[in-house]
């Protein structure tokens, strides 16, 4: 069934709400660890940005309310990473607590990824949302689920009580998209009130208000696509201060010498550089503009929790599915093993969470076991991640991970299983289609506290024909000097390569507990 957009005018209401709450929301009473009774289990709100990196984009400049309400009051994870740095693989990892080789989702579509692969491997019955639901939680979401859902738009996964998922690729544009609202296809148009982030903000307020009134513990997943290309600022921020900005240029922006990089980048560097030059500043301006709306959404969620008396009993997570290159190494988008693709923001507030920072490595697989432990729900043995509950209570964990696996399953530089699958019509996407070779070859990598070691063409080539990178992150944080690009370098670092390659192979074959050590 398909109906026009519901007769709600969210824009003016949201402007009034955020104006009223800007700088006024306060964190409610904090319950000490272990103090909540079984009948008063904590609530969870996960706010997932899309393609928001922690390296280049100055996101707090566009999100001062979120910084004040969450970062200035909660725990910031300074070393948070997305081990599968592309949307569908990252989201599958978040929902299941598993690496991509265990969800069988390593990219956005094709043989190695997408919604179809996620479903075919029974992942939907093994999400932390399903476990929370079965344990008595009321669950809901609005926004982006998994790439490929548009091919099965009527589908509602098990475990979701309130389902409002985008089922058209035009969701990325912010207008003229369709949501599956609990089985009813609702079309949104091009009016200011149809702006996607604001619609999701309104649904967040409604769900939290209703769930709080019902007295049932709840989980809400706010998955707007800001700041993903080609989303731009809503009309109320059309003349924002970022409109004419130039994107930041880190030392690896449009990297001048890529002779030490793998073949796919050397042979496409010219085209990729042209794409960066043609799109980067406009992309950045739109990104920052859409984050202004995301900031309003976060503030509205916090204010709603406070009004409902649930703020002190609710864990709020703000993070992103993956990072974004924004011109680093001549790359746009994500998918690469480099810092810009894999580093993400991550802040958590909630009962017993002190204000502070931790450098313990947190990865996407950790969300599922964390939510389950906080809810008092057993964590299945096949979950690859570790609970972050100790860090959230300010504890020091002496045996915490010092490395992690990263992986990607694209079909090669001329394939279309990766980022190309996400494009909505826009001036930017037309530029990409003309000059950008849309995908990267497959790779796997291990990143520890000092080194990044990458093995390229894992799916395309036999072992003898693969290519390798090694970076010393303490001396070369922008990954400009591949230590394995010369014969002398390969000889000098042969011992490190042997160690890291063995570790990489262990992690590529791990499952459950063997991924945690």
Which residues are identified as catalytic?
A: 87
- Contact assessment for residue 34 and residue 312, using Cβ atoms and an 8 Å cutoff: no
Cis bond before residue 476 (omega within 30° of 0): no
Does a cis peptide bond (omega within 30 degrees of 0) precede residue 230?
yes
Contacts of 243 (CB under 8 A, 6+ apart): 285, 289
Interhelix angle 263-307/196-214, nearest 10 degrees: 40
Rounded CA-CA distance 517/513 in Å is: 7
Tokens of 468: 């390798």
Closest CA to 174 of 147, 218, 144: 144
What's the 3-state SS for 371-400?
A: HHHHHCCCCCCCCCCCCCHHHHCCCCCCCC
Q: State residue 310 phi and psi, 5-degree precision.
A: -115, 0
- Residue listed under structure tokens 């085209």: 271
Which among 277, 500, 359, 363 has a CA at the least distance from the CA of 85?
363
- 2 pairs with which residues across the strands? 185
Q: How many CB atoms lie within 10 A of CB 34?
A: 8
Q: Are 168 and 177 in contact (CB under 8 A)?
A: yes
Cα–Cα distance list, 151 to 93, 218, 332, 509 (Å) = 21, 29, 26, 31
């Amino acid at each position: 069934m398909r109906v026009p957009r519901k007769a709600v005018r969210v824009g003016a209401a949201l402007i009034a709400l955020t104006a009223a709450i800007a700088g006024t929301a306060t964190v409610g009473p904090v319950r000490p660890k272990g103090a909540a009774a079984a009948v008063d289990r904590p609530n969870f709100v996960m706010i997932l940005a899309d393609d928001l990196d922690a390296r280049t984009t100055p996101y707090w400049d566009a999100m001062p309310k979120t910084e004040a309400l969450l970062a200035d009051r909660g725990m910031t994870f300074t070393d948070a990473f997305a081990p599968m740095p592309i949307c569908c693989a990252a989201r599958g990892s978040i929902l299941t607590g598993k690496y991509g080789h265990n969800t069988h989702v390593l990219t956005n579509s094709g043989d190695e990824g997408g919604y179809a692969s996620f479903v075919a491997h029974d992942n939907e019955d093994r999400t932390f949302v399903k476990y929370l639901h079965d344990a008595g939680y009321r669950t809901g979401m609005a926004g982006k689920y998994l790439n490929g859902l548009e091919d099965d738009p009527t589908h509602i996964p098990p475990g979701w009580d309130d389902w409002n998922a985008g089922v058209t690729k035009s969701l990325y544009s912010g207008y003229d998209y369709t949501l599956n609202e609990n089985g009813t296809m609702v079309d949104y148009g091009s009016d200011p009130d149809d702006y996607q982030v604001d619609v999701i903000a309104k649904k967040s307020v409604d769900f939290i208000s209703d769930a709080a009134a019902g007295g049932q513990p709840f989980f809400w997943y706010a998955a707007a696509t800001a700041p993903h290309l080609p989303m731009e600022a809503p009309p109320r921020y059309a003349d924002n201060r970022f409109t004419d900005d130039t994107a930041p240029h880190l030392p690896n922006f449009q990297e001048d010498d890529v002779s030490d990089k793998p073949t796919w980048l050397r042979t496409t560097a010219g085209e990729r550089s042209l794409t960066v030059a043609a799109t980067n500043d406009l992309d950045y301006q739109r990104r920052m503009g859409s984050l202004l709306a995301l900031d309003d959404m976060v503030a509205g969620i916090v204010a709603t929790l406070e009004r409902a008396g649930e703020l002190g009993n609710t864990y709020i997570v703000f993070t992103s599915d993956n990072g974004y290159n924004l011109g680093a190494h001549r790359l746009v988008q994500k998918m690469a093993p480099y810092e810009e693709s894999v580093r993400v923001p991550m802040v958590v507030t909630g009962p017993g969470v002190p204000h502070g920072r931790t450098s313990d490595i947190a990865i996407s697989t950790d969300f599922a076991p964390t939510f389950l432990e906080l809810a008092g729900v057993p964590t299945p043995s096949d979950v690859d991640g570790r609970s972050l509950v100790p860090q959230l209570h300010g504890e020091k964990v002496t045996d915490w991970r010092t490395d992690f696996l990263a992986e990607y399953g694209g079909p090669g530089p001329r394939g279309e299983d990766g980022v190309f699958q996400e494009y909505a019509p826009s001036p930017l996407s037309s530029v990409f289609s003309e000059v950008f070779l849309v995908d990267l070859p497959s790779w796997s990598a291990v990143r520890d506290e000092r080194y990044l070691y990458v093995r390229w063409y894992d799916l395309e080539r036999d072992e003898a024909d693969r290519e390798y990178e090694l970076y010393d992150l303490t001396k070369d944080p922008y990954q400009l000097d591949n230590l394995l690009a010369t014969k002398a370098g390969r000889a000098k670092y042969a011992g490190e390569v042997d160690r890291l390659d063995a570790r990489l192979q262990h992690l590529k074959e791990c499952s459950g507990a063997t991924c945690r050590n």
